[in-house]
Amino acid sequence: MTEALTLNKIISQKGISISEATRLIADLGWTPSYVQEAMHFPTDYKISKTPKDPMKQVLRSYFPMQEEKDNRVYGALDAALRGDMFRNVEPRWIEWMKLFLAIIPFPEISAARSMATLGQLAPGDHLRTGFTMQMVDEFRHSTIQMNLKKWYMENYIDPAGFDITEKAFGKCYATTIGRQFGEAFLTGDAITSSNIYLQVAAETAFTNTLFVAMPSEAARNGDYALPTVFLSVQSDESRHIGNGHSMLMSILKEPDNHLLLERDIRYSFWQNHMIVDAAIGTIIEYGTKNRDKNKESYAELWHRWIFEDYYRTYMLPLEKYGIKIHHDDVHEAFDSIVKKGYVHKIAQFFSAGWWANFWRIEAQTERDFEWFEHKYPGWYDEYGAWWENYEKLSKPGSQLITFADTGYVYPHRCWSSLVPAVVREDFCVDEVDGELFTYASEVDRWTHKEAFAAEYQGRATPAMGRFSGRRIWEDVYDGWDVADAIVDMGFVRPDGKTLIAQPHMSFEEKDMWTLDHVRGNTIRSPLKALRELSPQARAAHIEEYRKGFKIRRI
Amino acid sequence: MNAPVLENEQKSAAAGAKIFPGSDSRSYNYYEPKGRRATHYEDVTVDVQPDPERYLLQDWIISFGDGVPTYSKDWTALKSSDWHRYRAPDQEWERTHYQRQSTICGMIKNVIDNARRAGAPKRFDAAWVKVLQEHLGAFKHAEYGAGTSLMRAQRYGYTQMVNNAILTNSSYKLRLAQDLTLYLGEIALDIDGFDVDVGKRAWLESPIWQKTRELVECARGANDFLEQYFIVNVLFEPLIGELFRSGFLMQAAAPQNDYSTPSVVSAAEADYERNLANTVELFAMLVADAEHGEANRRVLHDWFDKYQPIATQAAMDLQPIWSQPRVKSAQFAEAYASAINRLQAIVREIGVFATQVPMPGLETEPAE
């Protein structure tokens, strides 16, 4: 029998090789001679080495590949509806998607914008295709996530909160953390923001918890849509990680950059930890109904994805190029999750201010307690009473837990990450330009006072960004009645009185809180209050704050 | 995995399982659709990039070292009393973008594969091969320059709608630049002596292309992102892009035994129709602005006066190309007149001016 003919053999013809194709495409650029391009994006780095393209993919293959991925995503969404996914999905989980999906499209599109920066700063044109694909990828992520949210809104039992999503993003006391994340991708020193903070830290390290670990938890809660969309999103991230690493390698070649790289890797790692672990840790641990003791806790996931994968195989090798890596920060971040209850305390904070949210948070119950105690021994002793109180105070007309006599001390905000300073023993303050600021930790203090400044260790850093705006949400509403603040934010249902946020998952109208139930409580800014204290009283307050608190059962 | 199964119908989390306040609020309610109903494009696009007017309670919370915030209206000389009104007529979002780009990639790949399989490039007229090698080879750099200038411009708009329209425009231009590059690289495999590097030399050195290069470098170098958008879509595209693609390649190729080049190039014409619609809609909105319209009209007029002479000269410098094919089927004068008419229609549509672009006397060559 003769060798079998295949269609491929019949129609195959010699084509252009990938290396030749990418060579020709990289040669599309030229050095302008008629009009010089102004360097629009400020940076204090020097970049002279042309970054290489690690992916060697061209747009002709990229677009069909992405369309195919899209077809699978949209097909799966249709199938989920045909399979009546929402009949079995856990509302506790979907409610947290109101927060997550309000935040994430803005960082995504900010990443698209930041490709303008890297495209202009990278010498040569080898990596331009990589940046182009990343730009279009991020456009994909932003709009595919808006589409997913719309889909939840149209098919989930309680659409309130999804319906105001982008407005809520701009106003909420929790999404302010996400705005810090997204703005940091594209503001300030162009390399700091777009390469180190976005590509080297956020995409290389923390998308694993964002886009891999979280979808797994979604599936455990009957939500097959989130994994479908976000694993498709994550499949684009490997390209972005490659772009980031290639750019980093070209920056590393210049010894003058090493001091700035040390600064930026330190700032970026720590702030990504503060922000991503706060949000995603809480969603994974507290947004789930699945209490399988064999599954990994967020602390275990973090150790696998961040400590083993990222720290050991990505950050540590940078030392051989002469970059100082702050090992203590990595260990401290892990300790904050494992030993200091960082995620649990953030969940406590989100639930303490449930009325200021645009999603529901229900109480954790006995089944949850058992799992937490199994994964985090000692958990019940520290947090059990809080959640039992929360359950008791979840009926309309109860006292708001924020203001109840439980021993809870509403936290200061960290001026750098905007996450509350929940690990009380790490709380610190400092003065910058004659004004007092509060920080969640020493690295956050360093970030504001030393990294985000016009000079770093004697070196002028005019391109570095500055923290600005009305950064502290509690300052904005200091002295306001809770009900008035909720109305001002627009977190009220269409009947004009029922809150979007509820401290339970009951869908009975009689169980739902209204503005009248929360009126009469006044928001106070801890920072303003601290600044008004005398130096002695302030020192006493800080000492007391660092001691923490013990929750009393009510 | 242990997906929970709720106990009964009452516990369903599907829409409509319970009626309570807000249970029927199933559309994004924080923006006004342009038409009677929100489009899918609007739902996935509007307000994703926020600002202090919509809805940043705490303002931008990071600034550049000089105090400029994350987004600033000062990044263009044009002003709007409401930047948020703009909607891109092509309504593009990720799914439609990939569908369209992918379809084009597939079409072009099929055309090239089939042409090569049929031995078509070997039958191209020898003079035409030189035209492709030198001038299509040079033109791909112009498309690339337009694409990279827009890639930078998509950072600066005050709303998501403006920036996404510029982003997709950049994506189309960069795809076209790669389409042309790969096409030339592939037919080079079949045509003896075809030198893929000739085009770049022509782009950098040939007098025919220097004004075009100057125009493209103006687009890349302009500090104002809408000035970049204006140069690319109001001047470069009708006077250089369409002139060369439709006015020359797509008309002249067939008599040289070349049926593949027009197909490869044709997608760009449809791309431009969409990008042009987006551009005209934006600039027309700014010219019609009750508060800033007149000032905007003057800015656009200044840009036009600054770059139109470069663009028209660049177009006229291309004239010798029309004489190079052995079989002359396209007329430069005719193509140029079409380009000028197109330009005038565009600026009339924007509402900028009634300026008549001077039409120089051009000698026509007899068609064969």
User: Distance (Å, rounded) from C-alpha B218 to C-alpha B215?
Assistant: 5
* Mutation target vs A (from B60, B61, B212; most A CBs, 10 A cutoff): B61
Closest-CA distance of chain B to residue A445, Å: 16
Residues in CB range of B270: below 8 A, 6 or more apart: none
User: Distance (Å, rounded) from C-alpha B40 to C-alpha A472?
Assistant: 35
Please indicate whether residue B2 or residue A209 has the higher confidence score (pLDDT): A209
Chain B residue with CA closest to A131: the answer is B151
Chain A residue with CA closest to B5: the answer is A88
Question: What is the per-residue pLDDT for B241?
Answer: 98
Question: What is the per-residue pLDDT for B1?
Answer: 38
Q: With respect to residue A497, please indicate whether it lies within any of the assigned structural domains.
A: no
Q: Which residues pair with A431 in a beta bridge?
A: A436
Is A4 in CB contact (< 8 Å) with chain B? Answer: no
Q: With respect to residue A283, please indicate whether it lies within any of the assigned structural domains.
A: yes
Question: What is the per-residue pLDDT for B218?
Answer: 98
Q: With respect to residue B17, please indicate whether it lies within any of the assigned structural domains.
A: no
CA A212 to chain CA centroid, nearest Å: 14
Position B3 pLDDT exceeds 70: no
Domain around B227:
92-350
CB atoms within 10 A of CB A320: 7
User: Distance (Å, rounded) from C-alpha A36 to C-alpha B353?
Assistant: 30
Is B3 in CB contact (< 8 Å) with chain A? Answer: yes
Q: With respect to residue B180, please indicate whether it lies within any of the assigned structural domains.
A: yes
Contact assignment for A59 to B106 by CB distance below 8 Å: no
Question: What is the per-residue pLDDT for A441?
Answer: 98
Question: What is the per-residue pLDDT for A9?
Answer: 76
Position B29 pLDDT exceeds 70: yes
Domain around A127:
69-345
Q: Taking CB atoms and an 8 Å cutoff, what residues of chain A touch B58?
A: 176, 179, 469-473, 476
Question: What is the per-residue pLDDT for A38?
Answer: 77
Question: What is the per-residue pLDDT for B364?
Answer: 57
Question: What is the per-residue pLDDT for A443?
Answer: 98
Check which CATH number belongs to the domain holding A279 and give it. 1.10.620.20
Give me the tens of pLDDT residue by residue for chain A, a chain 554 residues long. 456 778 777 777 889 999 999 999 999 999 999 998 877 889 999 999 999 988 889 999 999 999 999 999 999 999 999 999 999 999 999 999 999 999 999 999 999 999 999 999 999 999 999 999 999 999 999 999 999 999 999 999 999 999 999 999 999 999 999 999 999 999 999 999 999 999 999 999 999 888 888 999 999 999 999 999 999 999 999 899 999 999 999 999 999 999 999 999 999 999 999 999 999 999 999 999 999 999 999 999 999 999 999 999 999 999 999 999 999 999 999 999 999 999 999 999 999 999 999 999 999 999 999 999 999 999 999 999 999 999 999 999 999 999 999 999 999 999 999 999 999 999 999 999 999 999 999 999 999 999 999 999 999 999 999 999 999 999 999 999 999 999 999 999 999 999 999 999 999 999 999 999 999 999 999 999 999 999 999 999 999 999 999 999 99
Angle between helices B94-117 and A59-82 (to 10 degrees): 130
Q: With respect to residue B18, please indicate whether it lies within any of the assigned structural domains.
A: no
Q: With respect to residue A494, please indicate whether it lies within any of the assigned structural domains.
A: no
**Across the interface, which of B154, B186, B221 has its CB nearest the CB of A32?**
B221
Q: Taking CB atoms and an 8 Å cutoff, what residues of chain A touch B56?
A: 170, 179, 469
Is B23 in CB contact (< 8 Å) with chain A? Answer: yes
Q: With respect to residue B43, please indicate whether it lies within any of the assigned structural domains.
A: no
Residues in CB range of B182: below 8 A, 6 or more apart: A16, A21, A24, A25, A58, A60
- Closest by Cα among B217, B245, B203 to A28: B203
Cα separations in angstroms, B98 against A299, A527, B175: 38, 48, 12
pLDDT per residue over B157-179, tens digit each?
A: 999 999 999 999 999 999 999 99
User: Distance (Å, rounded) from C-alpha A26 to C-alpha A124?
Assistant: 8
User: Distance (Å, rounded) from C-alpha A236 to C-alpha A229?
Assistant: 11
Check which CATH number belongs to the domain holding B198 and give it. 1.10.620.20
User: Residue B63: phi, psi to the nearest 5?
Assistant: -130, 165
**Across the interface, which of A38, A147, A163 has its CB nearest the CB of B29?**
A163
Chain A residue with CA closest to B112: the answer is A15
**Across the interface, which of B60, B152, B174 has its CB nearest the CB of A120?**
B152
Position B8 pLDDT exceeds 50: no
Q: Which residues pair with A413 in a beta bridge?
A: A420
Closest-CA distance of chain A to residue B43, Å: 7
Q: With respect to residue A162, please indicate whether it lies within any of the assigned structural domains.
A: yes
Q: With respect to residue A270, please indicate whether it lies within any of the assigned structural domains.
A: yes
Q: With respect to residue B320, please indicate whether it lies within any of the assigned structural domains.
A: yes
What number of C-beta contacts closer than 8 Å exist between A and B? Answer: 365
Q: Taking CB atoms and an 8 Å cutoff, what residues of chain A touch B26?
A: 153-154, 159, 163
Half-sphere exposure of B196 (CA within 13 A, CB side): 21
Is B122 in CB contact (< 8 Å) with chain A? Answer: no
User: Distance (Å, rounded) from C-alpha B285 to C-alpha B291?
Assistant: 12
CB atoms within 10 A of CB A393: 19
Is A489 in CB contact (< 8 Å) with chain B? Answer: yes
Work out the burial of residue A439: count CB atoms within 10 Å of its CB; fewer than 13 is exposed, 13-18 middle, 19 or more buried. buried
Strands A466-467 and B62-63: antiparallel
Is B53 in CB contact (< 8 Å) with chain A? Answer: no
Contact assignment for B13 to A170 by CB distance below 8 Å: no
Is B324 in CB contact (< 8 Å) with chain A? Answer: no
Q: With respect to residue A506, please indicate whether it lies within any of the assigned structural domains.
A: no
The interface residues of chain B toward chain A in range 124-153, judged by CB-CB distance below 8 A, are: 140-141, 144, 147-148, 151-153
Q: How confident is the model at residue B2 (pLDDT cuts 50, 70, 90)?
A: very low
CB atoms within 10 A of CB A16: 20
Closest-CA distance of chain A to residue B246, Å: 22
* ipTM (interface predicted TM): 0.96
* Mutation target vs A (from B39, B43, B48; most A CBs, 10 A cutoff): B48
Question: What is the per-residue pLDDT for A55?
Answer: 87
User: Distance (Å, rounded) from C-alpha B149 to C-alpha B64?
Assistant: 22
Chain B residue with CA closest to A71: the answer is B95
pLDDT per residue over B139-156, tens digit each?
A: 999 999 999 999 999 999
Domains: count for chain A: 1
Question: What is the per-residue pLDDT for B9?
Answer: 41
Position B40 pLDDT exceeds 60: yes
Chain A residue with CA closest to B155: the answer is A113
Question: What is the per-residue pLDDT for B363?
Answer: 59
Q: How confident is the model at residue B11 (pLDDT cuts 50, 70, 90)?
A: confident
Contact assignment for A28 to B144 by CB distance below 8 Å: yes
Q: With respect to residue A450, please indicate whether it lies within any of the assigned structural domains.
A: no
Mean pLDDT calculated for residue range B297-311: 95
Question: What is the per-residue pLDDT for A13?
Answer: 84
Chain A residue with CA closest to B170: the answer is A132
Q: Mean pLDDT in chain B?
A: 94
**Across the interface, which of A113, A170, A187 has its CB nearest the CB of B56?**
A170
Q: How confident is the model at residue B7 (pLDDT cuts 50, 70, 90)?
A: very low
Contact assignment for A163 to B25 by CB distance below 8 Å: yes
Contact assignment for B182 to A222 by CB distance below 8 Å: no
Question: What is the per-residue pLDDT for B355?
Answer: 61
Closest-CA distance of chain A to residue B306, Å: 14
Q: With respect to residue A276, please indicate whether it lies within any of the assigned structural domains.
A: yes
Q: With respect to residue B47, please indicate whether it lies within any of the assigned structural domains.
A: no
Question: What is the per-residue pLDDT for A537?
Answer: 98
The interface residues of chain A toward chain B in range 70-129, judged by CB-CB distance below 8 A, are: 70, 74, 84, 86-91, 94, 105-106, 109, 112-117, 119-120, 128-129
User: Distance (Å, rounded) from C-alpha B235 to C-alpha B212?
Assistant: 11
User: Distance (Å, rounded) from C-alpha B141 to C-alpha B213?
Assistant: 9
Mean pLDDT calculated for residue range B37-46: 98
Q: With respect to residue B51, please indicate whether it lies within any of the assigned structural domains.
A: no
Q: With respect to residue B148, please indicate whether it lies within any of the assigned structural domains.
A: yes
